[in-house]
């Protein structure tokens, strides 16, 4: 990053400690001190040498090597804020970002990584998440991260090297699961998908855990074998950039509109609409949602079996099930 690295070492450490305290206060570690130590050690600012902040006149670029000391201070402060950071734009469309640290912490805890696990990350982003994984596992070669965009993977490699980590960074379609590095014990996606790629199951060992954003939620699957997996959604909402390269992906598609009313109360209904897109109309979905007691994300799950995948409410064999693409 240049000369500002040494200049910012003290302020960066203080900002990092403040971020860890903020995540602590949210209870994101869920009693797992290993991830707290990873976030306290890995320097996020090395992974966001610049980022974009939305303003009244479009996006403002904040840069760690700005000649203006006040601008550098704003950049460092933003690098350790508990917010997602836009890191790559193209024609006004967001291509890549650094996720909100507290959400990253919750996802990493939910991944249930164990010593010696081989982990695949789909969506390399800035490389920060791969660095956290490598720090937790204590071995860079246990971590593989993949992204479709060569510019993203190249910058992720640079950021990782600056932080002293060298996991395997692959340029390719993450939906294919990087067969050359398989089998995996854990797969974590940091981009939104419309379905569960079947290739992932074939790249996993039996008993592997898959954590992926789907329909504004986070789905945690247990893999039984190359044809079967099942699991439920975590209770919290999660919004990510769509996976590029996935067949039938809808970049920038967003969530369907809610039925008129108070949006915050109806946010779980928006999840149902996103999960059943093309299967249930808004009125039918809203009626079901009310009838079943306004279920939140934790009551939904997904089953993959025999080349098919479907989402369900409460029970995979129950009356409410919808095919995934």
Q: How many CB atoms lie within 10 A of CB 193?
A: 24
CA distance 175 to 173: 5
Place of tokens 């996020």: 44
Q: Which residues of 206-243 are buried (b: 16+ CB within 10 A; e: fewer)?
A: eebbbbbbbbbbbbbbebbeeeebebbbbeebbebbbb
Q: How far apart are CA 290 and CA 288, in angstroms?
A: 6
Kindly name the residue from 96, 97, 98, 99 that is annotated as catalytic: 96
Q: How far apart are CA 101 and CA 45, in angstroms?
A: 12
What ranges in 168-316 are assigned the alpha helix state H? 198-202, 263-275, 282-291
The full DSSP string for 144-178 is EEEES-HHHHHHHHHHHHHTT---EEEES-GGG--
Q: Which pair of structure tokens corresponds to residue 163?
A: 């932080």
Of 239, 253, 245, 247, which is closest to residue 86 (Cα–Cα)?
239
Reply yes or no on whether 98 is catalytic: no
Residues with catalytic function: 96
């Amino acid at each position: 990053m240049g000369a500002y690295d040494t200049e910012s070492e003290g302020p960066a450490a203080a900002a990092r400690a403040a971020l860890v305290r903020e995540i602590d206060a949210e209870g994101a570690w869920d009693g797992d001190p290993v991830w707290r130590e990873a976030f306290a050690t890995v320097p996020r600012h090395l992974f966001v040498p610049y980022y974009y902040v939305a303003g009244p006149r479009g996006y403002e670029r904040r840069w760690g090597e700005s000649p203006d000391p006040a601008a550098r201070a704003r950049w460092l402060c933003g690098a350790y804020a508990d917010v997602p950071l836009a890191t790559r734009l193209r024609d006004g469309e967001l291509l890549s970002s650094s996720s909100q640290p507290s959400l990253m912490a919750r996802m990493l805890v939910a991944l249930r990584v164990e010593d010696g696990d081989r982990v695949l990350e789909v969506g390399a982003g800035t490389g920060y998440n791969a660095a956290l994984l490598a720090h937790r596992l204590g071995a860079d070669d246990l971590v593989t991260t993949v992204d479709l965009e060569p510019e993203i993977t190249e910058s992720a490699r640079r950021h990782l090297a600056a932080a002293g980590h060298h996991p395997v960074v692959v340029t390719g379609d993450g939906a294919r699961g990087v067969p050359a590095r398989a089998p995996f014990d854990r797969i974590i996606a940091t981009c939104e998908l419309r379905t569960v790629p079947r290739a992932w199951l074939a790249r996993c060992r039996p008993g592997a855990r898959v954590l992926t954003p789907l329909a504004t939620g986070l789905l945690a699957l247990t893999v039984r074998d190359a044809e079967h997996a099942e699991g439920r959604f975590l209770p919290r909402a999660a919004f990510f950039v769509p996976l590029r390269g996935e067949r039938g992906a809808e970049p920038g598609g967003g969530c369907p509109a809610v039925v008129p009313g108070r949006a915050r109360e109806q946010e779980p209904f928006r999840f149902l609409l996103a999960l059943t897109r093309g299967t249930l109309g808004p009125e039918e979905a809203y009626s079901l949602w009310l009838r079943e007691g306004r279920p939140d994300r934790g009551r939904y799950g997904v089953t993959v079996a025999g080349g098919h995948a479907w989402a369900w409410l409460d029970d995979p064999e129950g009356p409410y099930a919808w095919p995934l693409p």
